[in-house]
Structure 1
Amino acid sequence: MEDITIDASVRNSSAAVLSKAWKGIQNAKPYLRIREAAKELNTSEAALLATTIGENCIRLAPNWHDLVKRLPELGHVMALTRNESCILEHKGVFADINVPCSGNGGVGTVIGPIEARMFFFKWHVAFAVEQEKSGRQLTSLQVFDKAGDAVLKVYLQEGKSDYDAYYRLVQDFRSEDQSPEQYTQPYAAKVYAREIDTKDFLGDWSELQDTHDFHGMLAKHNIHRHDALELARNIFTFPVAASSTLQILESAAEVKLPVMIFVGNRGNIQIHQDKVKTVRVLERGHNGPETWVNVLDPSFNMHLRQDTVATAWIVRKPTRDDIVTSVEVFDENKELVLSFFGLRKPGQPEMEEWRKIVSELTLLVNLQNV
């Protein structure tokens, strides 16, 4: 993800200063979530949360592989991954977890009711948090990157989770450092190539063998993902209406078509692989109008802030199993918000029902209308 510039002297104010400011903003705006409060105070969510250490928060030691391997002990939980515009929530168990054999970095995979790809090299600090909200006691594990942005949150579910296992885990991973100070540092903006050999780039695209090869191709040419889609316009990519997200969800729900939804941030990608059933649009907002497209199913929720969506693209990737079609959604900063695919397994072609849904999206003729 691209970075925003924040003055370090403000971002890393003393815990006492941040705590006082946060309490002030909570009194003035009790509806404000911690992520929004951090933005208003020009600091990070992790820095705010650390100010509550000793009250309802415990810093955990950064032994990421061992910590993740213990998550199944918690039983039925809710896993939450978000970026600036979209939130995915899955309720279930952490089942099949695979982490690198050595070190504390690399990429971990989680398969099962909760599915994720964990980029441990971006994980920086984690907390065990107990807090009361709207009359409910919330118990969670929360992981952040070095900028203080949330990577993954795991919430226990009353009557379903194993709270004793949670407290054992917290005790086992409790850090010696329980200071209320949490230093964070913004990520430097990535610098991309100024010129791209279009013919070479599109040639590489045409020779893709697997959807996972796409990331390597972008890295090879050092091109921003959104710029890549623009470069391949009307060849492999086709801009569609920004409102396509709602149409995709409603169409998939109507025909009971299982889909894949990817939502990620620097440190984690959470994946939904199933049908969607209940789709609702809600208008709300305390600091101005906000339009939220929601999936509200028993074990899966998605919350997309539609008014922040700037562009959406049909993306076609050649593979050894024929063309794979996705729809990629970006915000006004050209950051990837989420991706849709028709559910498929390696070795299988994608379903015609998914291609039909995509074919019914409204194509935009002129790029300036995106």
Structure 2
Amino acid sequence: MTNLLERYAALKGENPRLRIRDAAVSLGTTEAALVAAGAEGPVALIRRDWPALVGALPRLGRIMALTRNEHAVHERYGSFRHVSTGPGHILVLGPEIDLRLFPGAWANAYALDGARPSIQIFDKDGEAVHKVFATEGTDRDAWAALVAEFATAEAPPPAAMPTIHAAPSEGLVDAKTLREDWLALRDTHDFIAMLRRHKATRRQAFRLAGEDLAQRLDGRAGSAALRLAASGAVPVMVFVGNRHAIQIHTGPVHRLAEVYGWFNVLDPDFNLHLREAGVAEAWRVVKPTADGVVTSIELLDANGAPIALLFGERKPGQAEREDWRALVAAVEDGTIDAAA
């Protein structure tokens, strides 16, 4: 452990801006192993009662919730509200913090002390699932009480070696039947179940469905859409997730910036950091629903996994916004340079 911390300190000394996730890759270990070793300061082990832990987070007041994958980081400020649990999932459906959590493979959680306290959850592979950070509006007494309540003296060690996630295999899929089932969708939430029935990956379905349902876009389509949304005051929904958590922002975006290879939304209550170099494919996707078609821009990595999904702001029972459809059409027509 001491050797790992020494190597981490030397690496940070060479590159002070290096994030702990990237440092773990350079050191041949996992982010969870670095956190557990104290690389970011003193840690307390948190017991693995996931519904109770998430259910207790509303006590904290205003926090920052962070969910990420390799190429996108989604940060949302606000309070946890309306937490509920069901078979295999935990939902947070508040107006500020909006999450779909799948704790089946969650493995370790730590409370970090210091200038910016946080609670960080990792999966069995040592990869970060979800993090909660204290802010100026956080009830620090409630935070301390929550950490004390969930602290434990015993917990399994985190994964020490990184796991390589290969692209899922793609078998034969009946394109005609897939398209028929796609056209019969009545709810966007049924899309994943449709993919499972056909044993198709998301990327495979996009390639087979037909251009009216899935059209390949320029890799910069995500940032182009966000630029157009900001300039045209079009409220959006931005989904970013990993294998065990999805976080959603609903509302406008305003302040945009490109820094060190990342495209950023830097608003008071919502930050997005998108590494466009990691976008292997971008698609315009149309899904039928009972309320009419719903259009999205979906960014995939080299393995075909979602990096980020963009929709127009919409609630169930509402038709899709016409200004969002016009925005997507502009991106699809190649109006990317105009959005830059």
Matches within 5 A, 1:141-180: 141-158=119-136, 160-177=137-154
1:277-302 per-position Cα deviation (integer Å, ceiling 9, x unaligned): 112222x2xxxxx2x11111111111
- Please name the residue that 1:354 is paired with: 324
Query: Which whole-Å CA distance do the structure 1 matches of 2:39 and 2:19 have between them?
Result: 18
Query: Which whole-Å CA distance do the structure 1 matches of 2:165 and 2:275 have between them?
Result: 26
| Kept after mapping to 2: 8 A contact 1:81/1:264 | yes
- Please name the residue that 1:127 is paired with: 110
Query: Which whole-Å CA distance do the structure 1 matches of 2:77 and 2:245 have between them?
Result: 17
Query: Which whole-Å CA distance do the structure 1 matches of 2:252 and 2:165 have between them?
Result: 38
| Kept after mapping to 1: 8 A contact 2:167/2:303 | no
1:198-218 per-position Cα deviation (integer Å, ceiling 9, x unaligned): 111111111111000000011
- Please name the residue that 1:316 is paired with: 286
1:92-130 per-position Cα deviation (integer Å, ceiling 9, x unaligned): 111111113xxxx61111112111101111311100012
Amino acid in structure 2 at the alignment position of 1:306:
E
- Secondary structure, aligned partner of 1:166: helix
The correspondence for 2:190, drawn from 213, 218, 221, is: 213
| Kept after mapping to 2: 8 A contact 1:241/1:363 | no
1:145-174 per-position Cα deviation (integer Å, ceiling 9, x unaligned): 11111111110013x111111111111111
Matches within 5 A, 1:27-46: 27-46=13-32
Query: Which whole-Å CA distance do the structure 1 matches of 2:230 and 2:13 have between them?
Result: 41
Q: CA deviation at 1:55?
A: 5.7
Q: CA deviation at 1:187?
A: 7.3
Is there any run of 5+ residues in structure 2 with no aligned partner, and where? 335-340
- Does 2:40 match 1:63? no
- Secondary structure, aligned partner of 2:188: coil
Q: CA distance change for structure 1 residues 165 and 187 in 2, over 3 Å: closer, same or farther?
A: farther
1:233-292 per-position Cα deviation (integer Å, ceiling 9, x unaligned): 41310111111112211211122111111000111100011011112222x2xxxxx2x1
Q: CA deviation at 1:307?
A: 2.0
Q: CA distance change for structure 1 residues 214 and 187 in 2, over 3 Å: closer, same or farther?
A: farther
- Please name the residue that 2:245 is paired with: 268
Q: Root-mean-square deviation (CA), in Å? A: 2.0
Q: CA distance change for structure 1 residues 229 and 57 in 2, over 3 Å: closer, same or farther?
A: same
- The number of residues matched between the two structures is 332
| Kept after mapping to 2: 8 A contact 1:77/1:91 | yes
| Kept after mapping to 2: 8 A contact 1:140/1:154 | yes
Q: CA distance change for structure 1 residues 349 and 81 in 2, over 3 Å: closer, same or farther?
A: same
Query: Which whole-Å CA distance do the structure 1 matches of 2:34 and 2:297 have between them?
Result: 36
Q: CA deviation at 1:333?
A: 3.0
Q: CA deviation at 1:193?
A: 4.8
> What's the TM-score, normalizing by structure 1?
0.85
| Kept after mapping to 1: 8 A contact 2:65/2:97 | yes
- Please name the residue that 2:89 is paired with: 107
| Kept after mapping to 1: 8 A contact 2:299/2:307 | yes
Q: CA distance change for structure 1 residues 298 and 245 in 2, over 3 Å: closer, same or farther?
A: same
Is there any run of 5+ residues in structure 1 with no aligned partner, and where? 1-14, 132-136, 285-289, 365-370
The correspondence for 1:182, drawn from 145, 150, 158, is: 158
- Please name the residue that 1:4 is paired with: none
Amino acid in structure 2 at the alignment position of 1:183:
A
The correspondence for 2:172, drawn from 173, 191, 195, is: 195
Q: CA deviation at 1:363?
A: 4.9
- Please name the residue that 1:9 is paired with: none
Query: Which whole-Å CA distance do the structure 2 matches of 1:109 and 1:362 have between them?
Result: 33
The correspondence for 1:85, drawn from 57, 64, 71, is: 71
- Secondary structure, aligned partner of 2:158: coil
- Please name the residue that 1:328 is paired with: 298
- Secondary structure, aligned partner of 1:25: helix
- Secondary structure, aligned partner of 1:361: helix
Query: Which whole-Å CA distance do the structure 1 matches of 2:133 and 2:174 have between them?
Result: 47
Deviates more, 1:263-272 or 1:244-253: 244-253
Query: Which whole-Å CA distance do the structure 2 matches of 1:45 and 1:77 have between them?
Result: 22
Q: CA distance change for structure 1 residues 191 and 86 in 2, over 3 Å: closer, same or farther?
A: closer
- Please name the residue that 1:243 is paired with: 220
The correspondence for 1:305, drawn from 275, 278, 281, is: 275
